Amino acid sequence: MIDVKLQQSLRERFNPEGSMLRRQQLRMLEILLYVDRVCKEHNIRYWLSSGTLLGAVRHGGFIPWDDDLDIEMLREDYDRFLDVFTNSDEFVLQTYKSDENYFRTFAKVRDLHSQISEFELDKYYKYRGLYVDVFSIEPLPRIVCRLYGGVFEVIGRWRLKYGHNRVCYAAIKCFQRLALWSIPIVRPIFRLFAHELHHSYGSGFLKERHMEDLFPLSRVEFEGYWFPAPHSADSYLRRLYGSYMDLPDIDTIVVHTSECSFK
């Protein structure tokens, strides 16, 4: 972790208390705490992942300029999570099943008391609040991961370009259903040949994970709370980012500021 003085300097520069980015981060933290309670109650394994884990290890919380929050879990835990998650007055589970216009193959837990606009495609979504991304991990050949990622990227582009036309929209939805229908058919076949762990079909993220880096899970402090983390956060982060403790050139960082409102 970087020293306290530098961390404070970065916080004052990028996400000071009361700033819109900091308010977004704290609301996402509330979502994560809810997800954590659900997972503990049902013995579901998950861990902080990607930039969220990097922030925990290097900054003790969010990367000061980061505006998202990611977790991962094994496919079998992910399926159970979808089954047991109960929507509340605060948070709702968003999948392609709960939101017909949501085409992603990973889930989001959305806040119901905020609204965010990140991408043009968001305007079609039923749920548009701040969120935590929930990714599933499973044995999957890289080439298949790339193929399905490309398929769902095309679906997103078509939805944006032609979705206003009723006939085109119906055709796009049929193509999406066909792609989704194929996954449970090909999954057991490709598991036989897979020696790598990847984000599940259609997520589009290609960096592999390793079981020995993940289990048994450890704990890491994030924004004053303790959450599950990969067994070797160091190995995990080095595979994704290389020398992850080195800060980027601070003067070149562009903070991604999304349009956000709170209810």
The pLDDT tens digits of the residues spanning 147-173 come to 998 888 888 888 778 777 888 888 888
How far apart (Å, rounded) are the C-alpha atoms in residues 259 and 140? 36
- Domain-wise residue ranges, the chain: 4-136+211-262
Tokens representing 32 are: 């994560």
How many residues appear in the chain? 263
155 Cβ contact partners less than 8 Å away, ≥ 6 residues apart? 103, 172, 175, 176, 179
Task: Please give the residue that has the higher pLDDT: either 190 or 163.
Answer: 190
Taking residues 11-29, what's their average pLDDT? 93
Residue 178 pLDDT greater than 80, yes or no? yes
Tokens representing 56 are: 């925990």
Phi, psi of 42 (to 5 degrees): -110, 15
Tell me the pTM: 0.92
